[in-house]
Amino acid sequence: MLFKDVLVEESLKRQLINLVKENRISHAQLFLGPPGSHKFALAVAYAQYLCCENRGDDDSCGVCPSCVQFSKLSHPDFHLIFPNCVTKKVKKDPDYKQFTSEFIDFILQQDYQIDLNDWNALLGGENKQTFINARDCSNIIAQNSIRSYSGGYKIYLLWMVEKLYPSAAPKLLKTLEEPENKTLFILIAENSDNILPTILSRTQLVKIPVLNKDTIQSQLAKKYNISEEMAADIAEIADGNYINAQKIYQDNGELKEMLRQFHFFMDSSIANINNDLEKVKFIELLDLFNTIISQEREGQKSFIRYMIRMFRNILLLNTNNSALIKATTDEKKVIQLCSPYIRLQNISSIMEACNQAIYHIERNGNSSLIFTDLYLKITDYLKTKK
C-alpha cells in the first residue's frame, strides 16, 4: 500500500513520513479514526514506508523486495493481529495465527477498506463475540523475543484494539512499555472510550479525521466510473464512511427499491388519514409487506432502519436544519412531499414505533402482524401533524 493511494489529508501523510526520516518513531502508536476512514490503509502504508529499501521523499518505492512483500501482506516482519472466535473450522482455543490467510484475503478483496461486521460475517461468527484474546497476546510476546528477519523493524498491527479482551491486556503492557529494539506497535481503533486506559496511556495518538464528501465523491467516480451526480448522491448519504459509500453503490438498486417502498407506505398512510380510500391501496400495501417479509429478518430490519433515516431527514427539513440532511436527490423529493406530516409533536412516537418493530422482529415475532401494526400506528401518529 502506497501513501498516494490512501484517502487521508496530505499533511497527515507528511507527518508520518517525517517521523521515519527523522527517526522519531514512537514504539506504540494508536491510529484512531471513525468507521469507514482509511486508517487501516494508512497504517499499512506507514509500515511499508518504514521497511522500504529505497524509500523516496513522499512514498515507498513500490518495487523493492520489501514493498513487493507488503503488496501481498506477506512481509515476515509485519504481523497482523485481529479479533477472532471459535468457528466451524476452529472449534476451540482460537488465535489470530489460525485465521491469518483468511484475514489477508479479506483485506485484499476489500481493498484495505475493512469492517468488523464484515469480518465477523466471513468467520461465520455473526452471533458470537470476537476478541483479541490471551493466546494472541502470548503469540505477540513470543514473536517479539525473536530477531527480525530483515534486520530492520518488527511491526505489529493490532486491528480493532477495542476488542482486546480485558483479562488478556495485562500480558501486553510490559511489551508495549518496554519492547525489544526496533519494534513498532500500530494499534487501530474507532472509539478510544472502548480502549483500556492502561493500553491507551502507552500509545502516541495519530488521529485520522472523517472523510469529506468531496473526497468520497471523487474516489467513487474514479473507481466505479459513475456519473458525478450519482457519486455525489452516494457521498451525501455515506456520512463520511467510505465503506458505507461502496456498499451503497453496490446496493444502489436495493436503495432505490426501499425509497419506492417508503414512498408507497407514506402515500397510503397519508391517504388513510385524509379518508381517500381509493388511494390507500390496501391490497397493494399487503403485497408490499409480503415483499419486504420475503427478505427475511435482516432485510425487514434494514427497511425499518431506512424509514427511521427518512423520518429523521424530514424532521431536519421541518426544523430548519436542511444542511444536516443526508439524502439522495430522489430521496429529497420524497422528503419534501412528506414534510407536512412529520413534526416534533409526533416524531418521538413514530421513532418508538419503528424501534419496537425492530425489537419484535429480532425476537421472531410474526412479521406480517408487525408491519401491519407499524402501518396503523404511524397512520394514527400522522394525524397529529398540526
Confidence (pLDDT) at 299: 86
**Are 28 and 203 within 8 A, CB to CB?**
yes
pLDDT score of 250? 84
Q: What is residue 125's predicted lDDT score, i.e. its pLDDT?
A: 56
pLDDT digits 0-9 by tens, 95-115: 999 999 999 999 999 999 999
Close Cβ partners of 153 (under 8 Å, ≥ 6 residues apart): 50, 51, 77, 182, 183, 184
pLDDT at 150: 85
CATH number of the domain at 3-210, out of 3.40.50.720, 3.40.50.300, 1.10.10.10, 3.40.225.10? 3.40.50.300
Q: What is the pLDDT of residue 134?
A: 94
User: What's the helix, strand, coil split of the chain in %, to 5?
Assistant: 60, 10, 35
Mark the ranges of the chain whose per-residue pLDDT is less than 70. Answer: 125-127, 385-386
Nearest-5° angle of CA 363, CA 250, CA 87?
Answer: 50
Per-domain residue ranges of the chain: 3-210, 211-250, 251-382
pLDDT score at 385: 53
Amino acid code (one letter) for 269: S
Report the pLDDT value the prediction gives residue 174, as an integer from 0 to 100: 86
**The pTM is what?**
0.79
Give the tens place of pLDDT for each residue, 180-220: 889 999 999 999 999 989 899 999 999 999 999 999 999 99
Which pLDDT score, from 0 to 100, does residue 127 have? 57
